[in-house]
Amino acid sequence: AQSVAQPEDQVNVAEGNPLTVKCTYSVSGNPYLFWYVQYPNRGLQFLLKYITGDNLVKGSYGFEAEFNKSQTSFHLKKPSALVSDSALYFCAVSLASGGSYIPTFGRGTSLIVHP
Amino acid sequence: GAGVSQSPSNKVTEKGKDVELRCDPISGHTALYWYRQSLGQGLEFLIYFQGNSAPDKSGLPSDRFSAERTGGSVSTLTIQRTQQEDSAVYLCASSSPDSRGGYTFGSGTRLTVV
């Protein structure tokens, strides 16, 4: 079975400061990893993914994430937060092969960026 | 189409009534997923379709829930005899067969059972 843990329900950061939203995963094989963002009353929007290759992945809106296989983590980062980054963030994992590719999502982390 | 389309966007129904939720995936995406998002909760997997294969129904919470996908495209999620605990946002997503491109989500259907 695969699982995702987002240990923080909420992250607070001041505008202009760096932000990190944590994600750890468990999967029996090589993972595909994803980050999605959800604004109020909207569906999930794709931010970035790790499939293979470089461990540092760059995505939309200046976000990036680092795949760390030894720590089974895929933390989302941004060097300088914007108030408009305030939203709900979801990490997801699926099995790269030998499975059905059904993604498992974390419970989500609410990011609040203060002016 | 350009994105995943879901209808209706909002649905209010009386307890005990049946409802149908529709999802129109991205053209060419053979994989289709239904998830449920309850208030303050994460995404709960419901059902997965991949091409002509038998669907993975392992996430359906009860036999009141069913889904079909006609012609490998549009999908309908049906909830019979709705209960108040069925109130949630129902999200549909589609992807290429190997999901390497990620999953594209629709805007969801907000279901309220009164």
**A95 and A28 in contact (C-beta within 8 Å)?**
yes
Interface with chain A: mutation pick from B103, B104, B107, B110, highest number of A CBs within 10 Å: B103
How far does A60 lie from chain B, in Å, by closest CA? 14
B56 touches chain A (CB under 8 A): yes
State yes or no: pLDDT of A78 exceeds 70: yes
| CA gap A48, A56 in Å, rounded | 11
Between the CA atoms of B54, B57, B63 and B68, what dihedral angle is there, to the nearest 10 degrees?
Answer: -50
Q: What is the pLDDT of residue A70?
A: 94
Q: What is the pLDDT of residue A100?
A: 67
Q: What is the mean pLDDT of chain A?
A: 92
Q: What is the pLDDT of residue B101?
A: 76
Query: A2: which chain B residues are within 8 Å (Cβ-Cβ)?
Result: none
B90's tokens: 């129902």
Give the residues across from A97 on adjacent strands. none
Q: What is the residue type of A69?
A: K
Interface with chain B: mutation pick from A23, A102, A104, A110, highest number of B CBs within 10 Å: A102
pLDDT in tens, B63-113: 999 999 988 799 999 999 999 999 999 999 999 877 777 889 999 999 999
| CA gap B90, B54 in Å, rounded | 21
- Percentage with pLDDT > 90 across chain A: 77
Decide: helix, strand or coil at residue B38. coil
**A55 and A49 in contact (C-beta within 8 Å)?**
no
**A111 and A8 in contact (C-beta within 8 Å)?**
no
